[in-house]
Amino acid sequence: MAILEILKYPEPVLSRVAPPVNNITGDTVKLLNDMLDTMYAAPGIGLAAPQLGISQRVIVLDVNHENPHKQVYKLINPVISRAEGSVIWEEGCLSVVDFTAEVRRAARVEVTAFDENEKEIKIEADGLFAVALQHEIDHIDGKLFIDRISRLKRDLYTRRRKKMLRTGVVPPADNARILI
């Protein structure tokens, strides 16, 4: 198990659609476990392979941040098969430094995916779990949550981020927030 580097916006891989996993191998299982270690160390409640520079449709989640390791999801090739309702949720992201914003998402989703044992699973989710699933599936579709906010807010953040990169001044991590 390893803790990997989480890439930050504006890394190009974060805006690319990841291809599906064709064969679930030992390398896939190792990736899932490394992703979990990385997510917990960040700390976060979800992580997608593209955030680590790995262009694969693989995500991990554990939205029960008060009791970690109790409800872990390791999903390969997840697809939202049904979405209903609407909710606005304040989101942050491990790949988007020092920024949160309200994002409109489906209130309830049904997701189908494969687990590490090649078993097809179906998940019904609402609340934070539904938001986290949509957020991570966006990552494997080449989208960040800032792609879902107003152009003005996104442009303001982009300018601020470019200044951070240019000056080398990055604000300290705020561990009080839950990041997806």
Catalytic residue among 102, 120, 124, 136: 136
Q: How confident is the model at residue 179 (pLDDT cuts 50, 70, 90)?
A: confident
Return the SS3 of 11.
coil
> In the chain, what are the domains?
12-167 (3.90.45.10)
* Predicted confidence (pLDDT) per residue in 44-101, tens digit: 999 999 999 999 999 999 998 788 889 999 999 999 999 999 999 999 999 999 999 9
pLDDT digits (tens, 9 = 90+) for 104-133: 999 999 999 999 999 999 999 999 999 999
pLDDT on residue 177: 61
pLDDT of residue 172: 66
Nearest to 79 by CA among 146, 159, 134: 134
The reported pLDDT for the residue numbered 121 is 98
Measured between alpha carbons, how far apart are the two ends of the chain, in Å? 21
- Judge whether 110 counts as a catalytic residue: no
Structure confidence at residue 176 (pLDDT)? 52
Q: Which helix (H) or strand (E) holds 180?
A: none
Task: Please give the pLDDT value at position 68.
Answer: 86
Give the bridge partners for 120, in sequence order: 114
Confidence at residue 127, expressed as pLDDT on a 0 to 100 scale: 96
Task: Find residue 112's DSSP bridge partners.
Answer: 79, 122
CA-nearest of 145, 144, 121, 141 to 58 is 141
DSSP 74-141: EEEEEEEEEEES-EEEEEEETTEEEEEEEEEE-SEEEEEEE-TTS-EEEEEEEHHHHHHHHHHHHHHT
pLDDT digits (tens, 9 = 90+) for 149-173: 999 999 999 999 999 999 988 776 6
Q: Say if residue 105 is exposed, middle or buried (CB neighbours under 10 Å; 0-12, 13-18, 19+).
A: buried
Residue count of the chain, please give it: 180
User: Radius of gyration (Cα) for the chain, nearest Å?
Assistant: 16
